Amino acid sequence: MLYTSSVPSLYIHFPFCKSRCAYCDFYSCSLAQLKADRDKIFRDYGDKIIQQNSLLSHEFGIKDYSTVYLGGGTPSLYSLKELERIFAALKLLPEEREITIEVNPESLDSARLREYGRLGINRISMGVQSLDEKVLKAMGRISGREQALQSVQLLKGWKEGTWSADFIFAYPGQDKKSQLEDLRQFLALEPPHFSFYSLTVEEGTALHRRLEGGQLTLPDDEEMEQAWEEALIMIKQAGYERYEISSFCREEKYSQHNLAYWNSHDWIGLGPAAASKMGGRRFTGKDLDSFLASEEQNLLSRGDFYQEEILSREDILAEEIMMGLRTKWGIGKERLESYLSFDDFSLLLASTLKKWQRRLVLDRSGLRLTSSGLDWHSAVMVDLLLDLDKFFDYNTSL
Ligand code: SF4
């Protein structure tokens, strides 16, 4: 059930959007603002992705990828012909592995869906975000409610794979009643998997500016806390398992690619702003112009195209714990013991475990948050990071 693999995953970023949504800080460019013509950009982009993959696979001796995720941006805006060329060059053959593509409702139709199936894509993740017309408008989403519903119908009839949808909690304009009604309508669509995110207001976004300028206000905290609790009950009653802080599914349709991240496996990220993590190194690509202009040697992992971060042993352990605790399984005992003995961990975390009893558990299967503890992930992590700091400060040789 729990995904494990020593083969890295692959992420390919497609930084193209029709327009920017108010809340989004992912790296993407508006298609209308691109200087060269679209076909040429898509072709050049395909060439660079193929080149970057070939250089990095050779450098790290990668023969294959365990899961593949095409994210963005809006990958469903990208040319099918170019996508096919990338799939052929990277030898992403239809197999048993999960291959996901993110789509938006307005750029999905039945022909595109068929082509995705033919390429071997077996999972679609659609940005629905809300079914409330007013909220969708405030978010700056291109597609309205009707378009989202039509695209969901297409996904429900898709034979080649499964699908997931993203939904946002507590956007300005929502209150407890409207949020729960929105969720009720969303659950009626019966997505096999969905991500239900609490809104994070990122600096530099239009949403942040509107909140700062007083044109918008966030929903009341206390009211939304109650809404969240009721939402979790509704979701459970609808037969969904909460297997990660924001991820829910039926019939164990877990996102294998995200599990690779949460289990701290290695991955290669291709394209601008895409991060890779290989061993104790993380390197993150720069912007689209740098990507398209990069000479071959600069796409190797130590090339100028990236910002590099060398992770210390403490960083790696902290990240493994932080990512692992996002899931209901937590981080396994064997993983913990590759750093410290179980008894040492018990001693090190004793006061934090006491403070968070009933929310944080350390036992013979590992360290994990309980179902009520998942909502306290950030606060628990603050204490765990202090514990790790203390330990590594006294044990500098580790
Ligand atoms: S939410 Fe998606 S479609 Fe909207 S700007 Fe961000 S990446 Fe583009």
Predicted local confidence at residue 1, as pLDDT:
37
Percent of the chain with pLDDT over 90: 91
Q: Where are the alpha helices (DSSP H) in the chain?
A: 38-60, 80-89, 110-119, 133-139, 145-156, 176-187, 206-212, 221-237, 256-262, 288-293, 313-324, 333-337, 342-348, 350-355, 377-394
Locate the ligand 1 atom nearest the alpha carbon of residue 24 and give its number. 6
Tell me how far the alpha carbon of residue 27 lies from the centroid of ligand 1, in angstroms. Answer: 9
Angle at 75 between CA 40 and CA 270, to 5 degrees: 80
- Eight-class DSSP state of 6: S
Tell me how far the alpha carbon of residue 18 lies from the centroid of ligand 1, in angstroms. Answer: 8
The tokens of 180 are what? 């729960």
What average pLDDT does this structure show over 32-47? Answer: 87
What's the CA gap between 227 and 225, in Å, rounded?
5
| Ligand 1, atom 4, residue with closest C-alpha | 21
Tell me how far the alpha carbon of residue 103 lies from the centroid of ligand 1, in angstroms. Answer: 10
Predicted local confidence at residue 290, as pLDDT:
97
User: Tokens 């993110």 sit at which residue?
Assistant: 102
Annotate 224-287 with DSSP letters as a single string.
HHHHHHHHHHHHHHTT-EEEETTEEESTT---HHHHHHHTT--EEEESTT-EEEETTEEEEE--
Q: Which of 26, 125, 137, 207 to mutate to test the pocket of ligand 1 (most atoms within 8 A of CB)?
A: 26
Locate the ligand 1 atom nearest the alpha carbon of residue 127 and give its number. 2
Per-residue confidence at 111, pLDDT binned at 50, 70, 90? very high
Predicted local confidence at residue 2, as pLDDT:
41
| Ligand 1, atom 2, residue with closest C-alpha | 73
- State yes or no: pLDDT of 9 exceeds 80: yes
Predicted local confidence at residue 183, as pLDDT:
98
- State yes or no: pLDDT of 396 exceeds 70: no
Predicted local confidence at residue 317, as pLDDT:
93
Tell me how far the alpha carbon of residue 21 lies from the centroid of ligand 1, in angstroms. Answer: 5
What's the CA gap between 396 and 394, in Å, rounded?
6
Mark 331-344 as b/e (b = at least 16 C-beta within 10 Å).
Answer: bbbebbeebbeeee
pLDDT tens per residue, range 119-138: 999 999 999 999 999 999 99
Tell me how far the alpha carbon of residue 156 lies from the centroid of ligand 1, in angstroms. Answer: 23
Predicted local confidence at residue 65, as pLDDT:
96
- State yes or no: pLDDT of 3 exceeds 80: no
- State yes or no: pLDDT of 37 exceeds 80: yes
Per-residue confidence at 280, pLDDT binned at 50, 70, 90? confident
What average pLDDT does this structure show over 219-246? Answer: 98
The tokens of 183 are what? 């969720």
- State yes or no: pLDDT of 33 exceeds 60: yes
Tell me how far the alpha carbon of residue 74 lies from the centroid of ligand 1, in angstroms. Answer: 7
Contact 165, 194 (CB under 8 A): yes
pLDDT tens per residue, range 352-377: 999 999 999 999 999 999 999 999 99
Q: Which of 18, 33, 104, 167 to mutate to test the pocket of ligand 1 (most atoms within 8 A of CB)?
A: 104
Q: Which of 16, 23, 25, 28 to mutate to test the pocket of ligand 1 (most atoms within 8 A of CB)?
A: 28
228 or 33: whose pLDDT is higher? 228
| Ligand 1, atom 5, residue with closest C-alpha | 20
What average pLDDT does this structure show over 273-284? Answer: 95
- Tell me the average pLDDT of the chain: 94
- State yes or no: pLDDT of 30 exceeds 90: no
Tell me the whole-structure pTM to 2 decimals: 0.95
| Ligand 1, atom 6, residue with closest C-alpha | 24
Annotate 111-158 with DSSP letters as a single string.
HHHHHHHHHT--EEEEEEE-S-HHHHHHHT-SS-HHHHHHHHHHHHT-
- Domain boundaries in the chain? 9-261, 313-394
What's the CA gap between 95 and 25, in Å, rounded?
33
- For ligand 1, residues with CB inside 6 Å are 17, 20-21, 24, 26, 28, 72-74, 104, 127
Q: Which residues contact 376 (CB under 8 A, 6 or more apart)?
A: 356, 359, 369
- The type of residue at 126 is M
Predicted local confidence at residue 32, as pLDDT:
80
Secondary structure class of 327 (helix, strand, coil): strand
CATH fold of 9-261: Transcription Regulator spoIIAA (3.30.750)
- State yes or no: pLDDT of 251 exceeds 90: yes
Question: Which residues are registered as beta bridge partners of 99?
Answer: 68
Answer CATH for 313-394 from 1.10.10.920, 1.10.150.130, 1.10.10.10, 3.10.20.90: 1.10.10.920
Per-residue confidence at 149, pLDDT binned at 50, 70, 90? very high
Locate the ligand 1 atom nearest the alpha carbon of residue 17 and give its number. 8
CA 387, 390, 395, 398 torsion-angle sign: positive
What average pLDDT does this structure show over 288-306? Answer: 97
Number of other CB atoms surrounding residue 363 within 10 Å = 11
pLDDT tens per residue, range 298-352: 999 999 999 999 999 889 999 999 999 999 999 999 999 999 899 999 999 999 9
Tell me how far the alpha carbon of residue 141 lies from the centroid of ligand 1, in angstroms. Answer: 8
Tell me how far the alpha carbon of residue 20 lies from the centroid of ligand 1, in angstroms. Answer: 6
- State yes or no: pLDDT of 25 exceeds 50: yes
Tell me how far the alpha carbon of residue 145 lies from the centroid of ligand 1, in angstroms. Answer: 17
Secondary structure class of 51 (helix, strand, coil): helix
Q: Which residues contact 157 (CB under 8 A, 6 or more apart)?
A: none
Q: Which of 13, 18, 20, 142 to mutate to test the pocket of ligand 1 (most atoms within 8 A of CB)?
A: 20
Predicted local confidence at residue 176, as pLDDT:
98
